Amino acid sequence: MNVTFLGHAGLDLHEVGEVLPGGILRCLGHHYEFELETGKCLNGKCKSFESHRV
C-alpha cells in the first residue's frame, strides 16, 4: 500500500505514520489506527481513507 496523506489531520504519513503487525496503519499525530486493506478507521470516529494496492 502507498498511503502518504491523511486529510483528517493534514499530516504526511512518511513523517508521522507507522505500520503495525496485522496490516494496521497508525497515525502518530492523532493515534488513529486504520486497516491498510480497506482504509477503515478502527479506533475513532474519523473518516476512512481510500486504499489502493500498488
pLDDT at residue 4, as a whole number? 58
Distance of CA 53 to the CA centre of its chain: 14
15: cell is 513523517
User: For residues 36 and 19, is the Cβ–Cβ distance under 8 A?
Assistant: yes
pLDDT in tens, the chain (54 residues): 555 556 556 777 778 889 999 999 998 888 889 898 888 899 888 877 777 666
Is 50:39 a contact under the CB 8 Å cutoff? Answer: yes
pLDDT at residue number 7: 57
